[in-house]
Structure 1
Amino acid sequence: MINHSRLIWIIFLLLAGFMLYLFFQTTTPQDQSRRAESQIYVSTSKVQSALLTRKVDALGTALAYDSARIVNASSDYLIELNIGEGQPVKKGDLIARFNDLEERARIAELKALMTEQNRQLARLKNLTRTQASAQSLLDEQQAKVNATRAQLDALEARLNELVILAPFDGVLGLRQVSNGAYLATGTELTTLDDISKIRVEFNIAERYLAALQTDMVISADNIAYPGFAFQGKVKAIDPRIDPVTRSVKVHAVIDNADLKLRPGMLLNVHVELAKAEVVQIAEKAVMPLQSKHYVFVVGAEDKVRQVEIIPGQRLPGLVEVISGLKVGDEIVTEGSQKLRTGVVITRSEP
């Protein structure tokens, strides 16, 4: 009986030990797994400063250095037209002449009349030396001469309006009228553009205004000439900032002696600003979210917090930080997908 009872206790103890063994075997891996999951491994780095040659990119529009619409100032018949479409002209070259026969005849008539009036005026001047009564006649004759002179000046001005000369060196545009047509005042005959130089108009964000100066070097490229860069310089900076876009308008000039560039072309403009010491981080640390950008900063007790930054110029693998970080901050560069503010991180082995 005693042996039987002892056997039962032995069996009970063995069974209890087996149950404890099973318990520890089943719970220990789960606890270890939970502890492993609670540790988030990330890579971090310190924010550093770097000397950066700031380069600003913008979209620009090519404009003629000088441009004019050639229109007539008076209504009349077109009797001579010298518009070689797309051909160069020099300043002062004849572009068009209108019917001026009536004006020339009237000018000849007035010149003859003035000659006679001036002869009468000279005779009266001699009389005033001996006859005081001749002074009133002299004044009357002088008034006639002045009136005729005024009519002659008006007709000569009218005659000049009937001749259109090139106001500057340039290239003529397409012809819009035909020789012999009667044209109303203000009718466009053609266009004239000086494209030996090209003005490039583009906008730069106001934060670069302090670094922007005239005579800075720019380069520009266009889809029509892949791989080719046009060189120029900044010539003018608008004194006003656009209150809507918060940008400043800039004009640069590019030499165009080979006439490759044409007014209206879209140009990719690159402006090289002065070198500056900037805050720079690895591009992989930046997390874009909608229109904003964030990084995780490591704080006390290895807790992270999400910080918004404003990125600037980008280089391969690197990005400038305009605001949001300072030199010496520790940021997460890899493994930020599982993070949120307040999480404690564990640094990965290098």
Structure 2
Amino acid sequence: MASKPLYVVIAVAGIAAASAAAWWYQHRPTTAPDATSGSTTSAPASSASGGANRAPVVEVARVEMTRLTDDAQAVGSLRSRQSVMLRPEVSGRVTRINFRDGERVRRGQLLVQLDDQLPLAQVQQARAELSIARANHKRNQDLVGQGFISQRSVDESAANLQVAEAKLALAEATAARLKIVAPFDGITGIRTVNVGDYLKDGADIVNIEDLDALFVDFRLPERFQGKLQPGRQALVQIDALPGRRWTAVVQAIDPLVDANGRSIGIRGCIDNRQLQLRPGMFARVTAVFGERDHAMVVPEEAIVPQGNRVFVYRLADGPDQDSKTAQRVEVKVGLRRPGQVEIVQGLKAGDMVVTAGQQRIQRDGMPVRMMDSGRPGSGASQVAGAGPAPADPASGAASAPRRVLASQVSEAAPPVASGSRPEHVAAGPNPCNVAKK
């Protein structure tokens, strides 16, 4: 029992000795043979150079100038500029149909005729009564001048004449209601009636659509109410017609904000004289508020937010050609796009900013090194604008692709086809810029 404390003391001493030996092995001074004397001396210069090589490696990108568009995306639906469902005001039987389905019609054109034999007979009767009333009134006027009748008889005949005229107007109006005409220029839909059908008042006959101009109705959050004004443009894309886009002119903005969604209704007009679009189509709308041709942008990875402030690390000249100095700069950001952020204040075009490795920068003004161009994902390959990064000869794998800005994409990508085809251009003024009749 007395030897147990002795074992504990020996074990503790052994552990302490092993720890001391390990510490000495890790912190032993490095020596190098002297070229002249052959003796081993310490190399403080090597340790100094090793401290310089321990500068963190970061990825960088340049501040680029590009064109930015201030816009907002929304979804909407296409509507006809004018649309109506023709319905009879009185009951009657269809005797004639003067249009074909999908045919263009003109304003005032007779489309459907209901049976008007009885109303026309009433019109003839009213005309006969009006003729008698006129003759009586004229005769009474002659007699009263000769003193054969009183003025009262003349007044009664004048009232009877007015009643006859009113009966004739009523009979003609009743007969006219049996003729259904086009209220405006447009294209008819598919009719639901045939000759011989008996229609009650209010029954659907056919719809007429004015397709020369289409309205696109969409909604935007209320925060955009001060940016969008009538006369501005919006780009419209239709899922049913991919790869094409149309330009809509904002016609009106609803003064009432929807209390449920806190959004405002907006109506734009699209020139559709080529009849490529149809009412009811689903539309993706990009409302354009403004454009800036010389906007400075940086990759969004370069942004370092801290509370309500935004910083980036800008690289300045370092102590040698292989290193740079990282300076933390407060910036003011503007528009944001996928992968890009606009810098309004704090940087200038051509500055280098850190896009990866900000957590390695421990203090402002710390030396850093940019990633070599021969390594995958290097900062030099991202800054350079010519082609993808070369493949690593050791591994045979291709390097990470360089960062491509929006301005470079717009120049390389093929243009999107516009809404109008060059082989046919509709004549006449733009229906979205003229007053509706």
TM-score normalised to structure 2 length = 0.59
Alpha-carbon shift at residue 263 of structure 1 (Å):
0.2
Match of 1:199 in 2: 215
* Conservation of the 8 A alpha-carbon contact between 1:41 and 1:347: no
In 2, the alpha carbon distance for the partners of 1:312 and 1:242 equals 26
Match of 1:3 in 2: none
- Letter of the 2:150 partner, please give it: A
- SS in structure 1 of the partner of residue 146 of structure 2: coil
Any idea what the Cα deviations from partners look like across 1:245-289, whole Å, max 9, x if unmatched? 3322221111112211000011122233223698965323579xx
Asked if residue 59 in structure 1 is aligned to residue 75 in structure 2, the reply is yes
- SS in structure 1 of the partner of residue 136 of structure 2: helix
In 1, the alpha carbon distance for the partners of 2:62 and 2:244 equals 39
Match of 2:300 in 1: 283
* Conservation of the 8 A alpha-carbon contact between 1:295 and 1:332: no
Match of 1:121 in 2: 137
Match of 1:209 in 2: 225
Asked if residue 314 in structure 1 is aligned to residue 337 in structure 2, the reply is yes
> Is the deviation greater in 185-194 or in 107-116?
107-116
Alpha-carbon shift at residue 69 of structure 1 (Å):
0.6
User: What aligned pairs does 1:149-188 form with structure 2 within 5 A after superposition?
Assistant: 149-188=165-204
In 1, the alpha carbon distance for the partners of 2:336 and 2:73 equals 9
Alpha-carbon shift at residue 296 of structure 1 (Å):
7.5
Alpha-carbon shift at residue 181 of structure 1 (Å):
1.1
* Conservation of the 8 A alpha-carbon contact between 1:42 and 1:347: no
Alpha-carbon shift at residue 44 of structure 1 (Å):
9.1
Spell out structure 1 runs of 4+ moving beyond 4 A: 16-19, 39-51, 276-281, 294-299, 309-313, 326-329, 343-348
In 1, the alpha carbon distance for the partners of 2:312 and 2:212 equals 58
Alpha-carbon shift at residue 56 of structure 1 (Å):
2.5
- SS in structure 2 of the partner of residue 210 of structure 1: coil
Any idea what the Cα deviations from partners look like across 1:319-342, whole Å, max 9, x if unmatched? 359xxxx8449x985357x89xxx
In 2, the alpha carbon distance for the partners of 1:73 and 1:40 equals 85
Alpha-carbon shift at residue 196 of structure 1 (Å):
1.4
Alpha-carbon shift at residue 160 of structure 1 (Å):
1.1
Alpha-carbon shift at residue 235 of structure 1 (Å):
1.7
> Is the deviation greater in 103-112 or in 128-137?
128-137
Match of 1:77 in 2: 93
In 1, the alpha carbon distance for the partners of 2:128 and 2:229 equals 62
Asked if residue 260 in structure 1 is aligned to residue 276 in structure 2, the reply is yes
Q: Summarize the Cα distance change of 1:281–1:177 in structure 2 as closer, same or farther, 3 Å threshold.
A: same
Q: RMSD over aligned Cα, in angstroms?
A: 4.1
Alpha-carbon shift at residue 162 of structure 1 (Å):
0.4
Asked if residue 97 in structure 1 is aligned to residue 113 in structure 2, the reply is yes
- SS in structure 2 of the partner of residue 253 of structure 1: strand
- Identify the structure with the greater helix proportion: 1
In 2, the alpha carbon distance for the partners of 1:140 and 1:92 equals 40
- Letter of the 2:187 partner, please give it: V
Match of 1:136 in 2: 152
Sequence identity, in percent? Answer: 26
Match of 1:349 in 2: 369
Match of 1:291 in 2: none
Alpha-carbon shift at residue 344 of structure 1 (Å):
8.1
Any idea what the Cα deviations from partners look like across 1:90-145, whole Å, max 9, x if unmatched? 11111101111111111111111111111110011112223284211111111211
Unmatched runs of 5 consecutive residues or more in structure 2: 1-15, 29-54, 314-325, 348-352, 371-437
Q: Out of 252, 274, 290, which is 2:290 matched to? A: 274
In 2, the alpha carbon distance for the partners of 1:168 and 1:246 equals 36
* Conservation of the 8 A alpha-carbon contact between 2:58 and 2:369: no
Q: Summarize the Cα distance change of 1:211–1:278 in structure 2 as closer, same or farther, 3 Å threshold.
A: farther
* Conservation of the 8 A alpha-carbon contact between 2:302 and 2:312: no
Match of 1:31 in 2: none
Match of 2:31 in 1: none
Match of 2:21 in 1: 21
- Letter of the 1:149 partner, please give it: E
Q: Summarize the Cα distance change of 1:68–1:18 in structure 2 as closer, same or farther, 3 Å threshold.
A: closer
Alpha-carbon shift at residue 243 of structure 1 (Å):
2.6
* Conservation of the 8 A alpha-carbon contact between 2:75 and 2:285: yes
Q: Summarize the Cα distance change of 1:117–1:275 in structure 2 as closer, same or farther, 3 Å threshold.
A: same
Q: Summarize the Cα distance change of 1:50–1:266 in structure 2 as closer, same or farther, 3 Å threshold.
A: same
Unmatched runs of 5 consecutive residues or more in structure 1: 1-15, 29-38, 288-293
* Conservation of the 8 A alpha-carbon contact between 2:333 and 2:341: no
* Conservation of the 8 A alpha-carbon contact between 2:65 and 2:295: yes
Greater relative CO (CA pairs within 8 A, separation 6+): 1
Q: Summarize the Cα distance change of 1:49–1:203 in structure 2 as closer, same or farther, 3 Å threshold.
A: farther
Q: Summarize the Cα distance change of 1:53–1:22 in structure 2 as closer, same or farther, 3 Å threshold.
A: closer
* Conservation of the 8 A alpha-carbon contact between 1:43 and 1:348: no
Alpha-carbon shift at residue 219 of structure 1 (Å):
2.5
- SS in structure 2 of the partner of residue 129 of structure 1: helix
How many residues end up aligned between the 2 structures? 307
- SS in structure 1 of the partner of residue 225 of structure 2: helix
- SS in structure 2 of the partner of residue 227 of structure 1: strand
